[in-house]
Every structure is written in structure tokens, then in C-alpha cells.
Amino acid sequence: MDARAKTGVSIRSATKRYGAVTALDDVSLDIAPGEFVSLLGPSGSGKTTLLGILGGFVQPSSGSVWVGERDITFAPPHKRDIGIVFQNYALFPHMSVGENVAFSLRARREPKSTWAKRVADALAMVELKGYESRGIHQLSGGQKQRVALARAIVFQPQLILMDEPLSALDKQLRETMQIELRRLHRQLGATIVNVTHDQREALTMSDRVAVLKDGRLVQIDTPERLYDRPCDAFVASFIGEATMLDVTRAGDDAVRLGDTVLRTAHPLPRGEKLLLAVQTEKLVIDGENRDAHVNRLSCRVTEVLYQGESLRVFAALADGTAISLRQPGSHEARKRIPAPGASMIVALDPQDTIVVSA
């Protein structure tokens, strides 16, 4: 990729209304040159609308969009120098792989003498070297996705937009492609904005993740901080697997859950109504080597579900409050899990004791 690809994006107070419905509500977002940002949220959160505004397929009711020093708010899609990967690939079935990839060059009236090399380079980058003459019908789903990616990068765009690019793939291939897209991003150095509703996909591929809800930007942060320091109950419950439990303030760095006081290493949020976000993989079955600084909860096992690489253990606290934890699926780990009906003590490190405002 050339220097043009390393261009930042600035979305300034973007709002989109459809009559009385506000699909996007005053969203501002700065994306650094070469950054991979995922827009994450449930259906109706505004993520697809925001991507449409970036791509020029949706005009904002107010606000602006800048790519580098250029205001592209009302520029048509074909004049934005943006590569787009659609959910359904949008490949031409009557064209070969090479012709599909070259279509981007033809549409931009690039010199025909350069097509062959640029198509070959783009296909090599997505590990489809030598596929130029293949028919689209001869490709697997993963290969079609790679062709769509090659078509998006062949003209060296400043910005690449991806709309749920992996949603049509099966689980194993989807996870493989997540790693491949991350590798491709490092190789390209391009600025990428990706729309997804899959939390794991967003955390795996992104430098930062922007969480949207009801048309508003709730939080944007690195995957680690988003997961470990959610800003509110919505983000805490939407990212990963978390049980939300009502707690009360018990000092500057502690909360009370029933009769148990739990310490946290993080500042407590303001407000009287607080929730403890208990993430399944942060709870561990307490062993014999007891660490004095961790929080402990007594509970009773109600059900154990085998899920292949892990086991989901459901339990109930003394007052009947339901919690769950995820344990490795190894034989040694499975031996530590009590049978349903048995008592169990689980530990939660103060660093993993996440309290959010309700």
C-alpha cells in the first residue's frame, strides 16, 4: 500500500433521522491513520447507518465526515476512494476471479496495462495466487470472501469499509478469517472500519471497538479496556458473558452483595444504584492455596454443561441469586468441579471485580 492508505477519519456530530426516528444521534469519532476500528452493537444500534454515512450511501441529517483533510460528507461513493467489502460479497458470477478483482480498476479507469500485475498482487496478498481464471462458482465461501477483499484493496484505497464480512461463514472458518484479516491489516497498513454484531470478532480483530446503542456512541476503547473496564451496565452485559447483580456501596473501594463485602481495585462509579458485572471466565473455583486478597463467594452448584473446549458451571448464592462461571474443558479442570447439589467457593480478584452504574 502507498502513503495514501494511511489516512485518518473524523466523524463530527453525525446525526441521521428518518422522519420521527433517529437512527444515529450526534456521533463523533476520530479514527487514526492505519487503525482498525469495529463498530459493534445490537440490531438497530446505528452501526450500519454510520458505515453507510462513511461510504456515501447514506447522507447525514447533520454533521460531517472527513478523510484526512478532505470533507467527503456529500461526496458520491465513487469519488471517496474507499474500498468496500459487503456482507454477501457482491461478486459477479459471470466473471472470473481476475475479472472481479479488476472491476475496481476498470471502474476507476486505471491504465489497462497495469491491471494484470495489480490483480496478481492483490490475490497474492489474500493468499489466492494463481486463481485469476477460476470461476466464482468454483470457490468456497472463504475463498469468495478473499476475492471480495482483493477487489477492495486492489486500487490501494485510503479507507476500507467492511459490513459484516464474515457473517455468512461457518464458525471455524469465521475464526480463521478473523486472524487472516488481522494479518492482512498489518500488511496493508490501511485504515479499516468494520461493522459487526459479533463481540468476539470485534475483540479479536480491532485496535479499538466502538459500542453503539440506540443510535448513540456508548464507549470506544481498546478490546482489553472495553472488556475489563466497561463504562456502564449495557457494555458490561453486551461484551462477553456477564451476570449483572445488584450491589450496594460499602466504602470507597468495596460493595456489598448480600452479606458479603467485595473489594474492587477500580474507582466506584457515581450514583446510588450499582451493579456487579460477574464475568464467567473471571470467577475461579477456590483452591487450597488461598490468596488472602481475593474476594470469595459461597454457592451451590446447580448444573454443569459440557461445551467442548470449556464447561459452563451454573450455581446459586445463599439467597438464590444465580451466577455462572466458565472452566477449561481439560480432564484436570473437570475434576475440580463439584457435582450438582454440592457446595462450592468461588474466588474473584479485586482487579476483576467490575462495578458499573445501573
Rg of the chain (C-alpha set): 24
Name the grid cell of 354. Answer: 467490575
CA distance 218 to 198: 17
- Each residue of 326-353: pLDDT tens digit? 988 888 878 889 999 999 999 999 999 9
Vertex 130, ends 172 and 95: CA angle to 5°? 85
- Each residue of 4-35: pLDDT tens digit? 446 799 999 999 999 999 999 999 999 999 99
- Per-residue model confidence as pLDDT tens for the chain (358 residues): 443 446 799 999 999 999 999 999 999 999 999 999 999 999 999 999 999 999 999 999 999 999 989 999 999 988 888 999 988 888 999 999 999 999 989 988 899 999 999 999 999 988 899 999 999 999 988 899 899 999 999 988 889 999 988 887 788 888 888 998 898 898 888 899 999 999 999 999 999 999 999 999 999 999 999 999 999 999 999 998 899 999 999 989 999 999 899 999 999 998 889 999 999 999 999 865 567 789 999 999 999 998 888 999 999 999 999 999 998 888 887 888 999 999 999 999 999 999 999 8
Looking up cell 466523524, which residue turns up? Answer: 11
Contact 346, 296 (CB under 8 A): yes
CA distance 1 to 160: 12
Looking up cell 466464482, which residue turns up? Answer: 136
Residues 6+ apart with CB under 8 A from 232: 218, 219, 356, 357
Residue 149's nearest CA partner among 130, 163, 135 is 163
Name the grid cell of 174. Answer: 469465521
Buried b (16+ CB within 10 A) or exposed e, 145-158: bbbbbbbbbbbbbb
3-227 and 241-357: same fold? Answer: no
Name the grid cell of 216. Answer: 448513540
Which fold does the domain 3-227 belong to in CATH? Answer: Rossmann fold (3.40.50)
DSSP 203: H
Contact 58, 161 (CB under 8 A): no
Domain extents for the chain? 3-227, 241-357
Residues 6+ apart with CB under 8 A from 236: 230, 242, 244, 275, 277, 354, 356
CA distance 206 to 181: 10
Exposed/middle/buried for residue 86 (C-beta within 10 Å: 0-12, 13-18, 19+): middle
How far CA 42 is from CA of 45, 86, 147, 158, 196, in Å, comes to 6, 18, 28, 28, 9
Which ranges of the chain would DSSP assign to H, the alpha helix?
47-55, 97-107, 115-125, 141-153, 171-188, 199-205, 223-228, 233-238, 331-335
Exposed/middle/buried for residue 338 (C-beta within 10 Å: 0-12, 13-18, 19+): middle
Estimate the crossing angle of helix 171-188 against helix 115-125, to 10 degrees.
Answer: 120
- Each residue of 217-240: pLDDT tens digit? 999 999 999 999 999 999 999 998
Which fold does the domain 241-357 belong to in CATH? Answer: OB fold (Dihydrolipoamide Acetyltransferase, E2P) (2.40.50)
* Predicted structure pTM score: 0.88
